[in-house]
Amino acid sequence: MSLHSNARVSSPIELIGNTPLIRLRSVEERAGGGVQIWAKCEFENPGGSVKDRAARQMILDALDDGRLSPGKALIDSTSGNTGVAYSMIGAALHIPITLVMPANVSAARKNITQAYGTKIIYSSELEGSDGAIVLVRELVAEDPDRYFFPDQYSNPSNPKAHYLGTGGEILEALDGAVTHFVTGIGTTGTIMGTGRRLKEHDPGIEVVAIEPDDSLHGLEGLKHLATSIVPTIWQPEGIVDRRMSMGTDEAWDAAEWLTRDEGVFVGHSAGANVAGACRVAREAGPGAVVVTILPDRGDRYFKPMKWERNYVW
Ligand SMILES: Cc1ncc(COP(=O)(O)O)c(C=O)c1O
């Protein structure tokens, strides 16, 4: 049931946040039982992912203090979901959006952003998300008055969205009774903001960052920090208790369990998060209440057909 079921709104922006928590009983069994594992359904956001929260906060804060003003276009690099979020919010607020993304991101992501009217500039697929970051910095340096560059990797509004939203919502839904929070790191906004809010409530809540185990991995949205440009907002001291390495196969398997055993069809970073939550719950044993995040839905990774107006198949 959507928490918005009786709401009246005048913009999709108002539908962002207040996502439900789903209890993953089959994963609890895999963890040995006696534990609770809850996952926050971020795919329920109107743009389909957790990134709606960060995009909304970055745009609203910039409109507030004048960094984003009429005549300027928003430009940023994105692995996809933030781009969809910017595109949706940009369309709703009539702000032009330009995205720089690696040429090999999924066709679905490219097509969805373009459907909202967004302009895409492709960076080298060989350089991954770091190549997109470097190119967007060059474009902004060439024409600084033309663009507002939120830079999700260094913008404090990104973790702020999760501090104000995700973290507080988790505490409210579970009456503050949480023992562990486990989530993957991309820009690190989700873990930094949610982790800060949870630690403020109870410093004993263990916060675990899930990281791909290799620079070449299949977990879209997540970053292998050792071989990446480290986001400025990544300030783990006092917030992140430990980092957990996750293999692509284990994460993909967990995404499959969720789909087949729970009827929850999620993307691979959600699989990584749930596999991590399962490990943490197994280690902690009975009494643990582990919360994780389902950043997006699995069908985001399918290639759409009708979107392309290509009816020949
Ligand atoms: C599918 C997916 N999972 C996880 C993440 C990581 O979230 P964050 O950037 O808040 O660390 C992202 C971010 O882009 C994502 O798109």
43 three-state secondary structure: helix
User: How far, in Å, CA of 144 to CA of 141, rounded?
Assistant: 6
191 three-state secondary structure: helix
Provide Rg for the chain, Cα atoms: 19
What pLDDT shows up at residue 311? 46
Q: Does an H or E element contain 294, and which?
A: strand 289-294
DSSP character string of 135-157? HHHHHHHH-TTTEE---TTT-TH
Least confident of 73-82, 161-170, 241-250: 73-82
Distance 243 CA to ligand 1 centre (A): 16
Structure tokens at 199: 């630690």
What pLDDT shows up at residue 89? 98
Average pLDDT over residues 55-65: 98
Which residues touch 51 (CB under 8 Å, ≥6 apart)? 81, 82, 84, 85, 295
From edge to edge, which strands make up the β-sheet containing 97-102? 119-123, 97-102, 73-77, 147-148
What pLDDT shows up at residue 111? 85
Average pLDDT over residues 178-190: 97
Structure tokens at 19: 């996502």
Structure tokens at 143: 């024409």
User: Any idea what the Cα angle at residue 271 is, between residues 265 and 275, rounded to 5°?
Assistant: 135
66 three-state secondary structure: coil
Which is the closest atom of ligand 1 to the Cα of 162? 10
What pLDDT shows up at residue 109? 74
Which one, of 77, 79, 229, 83, lies nearest residue 139 by Cα? 77
- Phi/psi at 222 (nearest 5 deg)? -105, 155
**Side-chain-facing half-sphere of 147: CA atoms under 13 Å:** 20
Which residues touch 285 (CB under 8 Å, ≥6 apart)? 32, 34, 35
Q: What is the share, in percent, of the chain residues with pLDDT greater than 90?
A: 81
- State the pLDDT confidence band at 306, using cuts at 50, 70 and 90: very low
Distance 223 CA to ligand 1 centre (A): 9
Which residue of the set 123, 129, 157, 269 is catalytic?
269
Q: Work out the mean pLDDT of the chain and round it to a whole number.
A: 92
- The tens digit of pLDDT for each residue in 207-263 reads 999 999 998 888 988 999 989 889 999 999 999 999 999 999 999 999 999 999 999
Distance 51 CA to ligand 1 centre (A): 7
What pLDDT shows up at residue 303? 60
What pLDDT shows up at residue 129? 77
**Helices (H), ranges, the chain:** 25-30, 51-65, 81-93, 107-115, 128-142, 157-161, 168-173, 189-201, 248-257, 268-284
The verdict on whether 269 is a catalytic residue reads yes
Average pLDDT over residues 55-79: 94
Burial of 234 (0-12, 13-18, 19+ CB in 10 A): buried
Hey, how many other C-beta atoms are within 10 angstroms of the C-beta on 116? Answer: 17
Average pLDDT over residues 75-79: 83
Q: Which residues line ligand 1 (CB under 6 A)?
A: 49-51, 79, 81-82, 184-190, 220-222, 267, 269, 295-296
